[in-house]
Amino acid sequence: MASTDRLGGTGILPKMKRKKVADSCSHDEYKIKFQGLNIFIVERKMGSTRRTFLMDLARKKGFRVNDKLSDAVTHIVAENNSWNEIWDWLQIHKLSNTNTLEMLDISWFTDSMGAGKPTQTTCPEQSDPVPVSKVAAISQYACQRRTTLNNKNKIFTDALEILAENCEFNENERSYVVFARATSVLKSLPYAISSMTMLEGLPNMEVQPRAIIEEILEDGKSSTVESLLCDERYKATKLFTSIFGVGLKTADRWYRLGFRTLEEVQAAKDLKFTKMQKAGLMYCEDISSFVNKAEAHAVGQIIEKFVHKCVPNATVTLTGGFRRGKEIGHDVDFLITCPEEGKEEGILHKAVHSLPQGLLLYYDIIESTMEKNKIPSKQYDVMDKFQKCFMILKLNNTLVQNSDLNLHSESGIKLAYETAEPERQIESKDWKAIRVDLVIVPIQQYAYALLGWSGSRHFERDLRRFSYHEKRMNLDNHVLYDKTKKVFLTAKTEEEIFAHLGLEYIEPWERNA
């Protein structure tokens, strides 16, 4: 009983205060306007007098308020309590509906009282309940969290991603990681952050991101982010690195030379461009715009057609953000493999060279640099050792419109570029330049490559960090090496890789970390 009294709640008030509660307004005196809510106000850190006042106020406004905590309660209101504290307190009561309770800060309550109705963001008919059990068990690793595209904290993650990007531009790896990890945690939460107390107990919430979140909660925006968005160096770096073939060093050199726009860069007579940069600048308008799912599917049909001409049983798999369920992306990535070992060799050159000249706007083939039995590094490496081709394809709009059809079947339908007139295409611009990456993968390493190329980037970083720190294993896009047993672990599927690491399998659409 002593511990229950300390935590607060119903059935714990001294006898005199019980009488005060009994004398307070009952539901019989007021009409209940909001049938979907059944509120319980937590006395812990609030006090019985304030709790009684708030209960009466809510009833006067038409809210149903429970005196006692029971399975009938749908919403819990607390003040100055962290979510983990409330979670621990709830365990004492052993409710059957703990996982569907929505936990609300007192700020929601006061806003609702002022409006005379439940605020929109937490009305039961308009939002999902917060699964409290998940709040108490959020891992520091993205590979142990399920992160869908349903981001309930976009106002914070958008700001933090801008700051993380700027840290990358300035090659400040430490600060980049701080912002990236905080962003990843926020994206995984099944509820929206509405007060700083809700950050308590969450992993990876260091001083820098907390300060940004607090400022947004108070002012609706971050002055730091607003200032950065107006910063000349940040804007120029972001613009220049969006060009195909331009990295940070080149972008920094252009900035130091005084360039601020692409027009200035293109007009410069003394600048020398690589073949890739020339193509990037030539098609920058198309490439800088988003690729949608229909366009990605249409590109896949083209690639499959010419790959299967070389090896009929080859597999072409769409990866990247589109595999994770995204509707748009910046480019389209495909893994190509064959069921027979060694059969994948030569496919890339044959397939690329068989593409019609008018279709292939640019390509650059990077040969494989794989070393057998090489132990993967513990560091995250964006580039792997597979043979790959970076290309720009001319995608005809007609093909995109028909992308839901089986265009390479025996139906007699031809691909759009096979019947179009090239001169007319250029004049009317009924096509779009699309960035495409093709990666050739030996069948033995396909599962690891598929996992690595599916992303997201932070999910992959944390997967490798988890492997190294928690399992004494090194993971990359090629292999998984067990440092304890000193063996390479084989896997035919992504599920097997997760099993090797002792992780619960996470679907691609839940890896949007």
Quote the CA–CA distance of 58 and 252 in Å, as a whole number.
Answer: 58
- Which one-letter DSSP state was computed for residue 511? B
> What tokens does 504 get?
């619960």
Is 231 part of the annotated catalytic residue set? Answer: no
Surface-to-core class of residue 408, CB atoms within 10 Å of its CB (0-12 exposed, 13-18 middle, 19+ buried): middle
> Residue 364 corresponds to which amino acid?
D
Residue whose C-alpha is closest to residue 117's, from 62, 186, 56, 51: 62
Quote the CA–CA distance of 128 and 405 in Å, as a whole number.
Answer: 36
Q: Are strands 75-78 and 102-105 parallel, antiparallel or unpaired?
A: parallel
Residue whose C-alpha is closest to residue 109's, from 154, 152, 69, 50: 50
Residue whose C-alpha is closest to residue 207's, from 178, 171, 247: 178
**Are the beta carbons of 365 and 348 closer than 8 angstroms?**
yes
CB atoms within 10 A of CB 496: 15
Written as one string, the DSSP assignment of 118-165 is --GGG-TTTSPPP-HHHHTT--SSGGGS-B-S--TTHHHHHHHHHHHH
CA distances from 252 to 64, 136, 188, 241, 249 (A): 61, 44, 34, 9, 5
Residue 437, annotated as binding a ligand: yes
Quote the CA–CA distance of 489 and 133 in Å, as a whole number.
Answer: 34
Of 331, 384, 462, 476, the catalytic one is 331
Of 56, 364, 437, 482, the catalytic one is 437
Written as one string, the DSSP assignment of 368-433 is ----TTPPPPSS--S--SSEEEEEEEEEEHHHHHTTTS-TTSTT-PPPHHHHS-HHHHHHHT-EEE
Residue whose C-alpha is closest to residue 475's, from 494, 437, 164, 187: 494
Residue 381, annotated as binding a ligand: no
Q: Are strands 473-475 and 480-482 parallel, antiparallel or unpaired?
A: antiparallel
Residue whose C-alpha is closest to residue 465's, from 156, 165, 203: 203
Residue 331, annotated as binding a ligand: yes
Of 286, 333, 384, 462, the catalytic one is 333
Is 88 part of the annotated catalytic residue set? Answer: no
CB-based contacts of 360: which residues, under 8 Å, 6+ apart? Answer: 352, 391, 392, 393, 394
Is 252 part of the annotated catalytic residue set? Answer: no
Phi, psi (degrees; rounded to nearest 5) at 395: -100, 115
Q: Could you tell me which residues are annotated as the binding site?
A: 331, 333, 437
Active site residues: 331, 333, 437
Cite the annotated binding site for Mg(2+) by residue number. Answer: 331, 333, 437
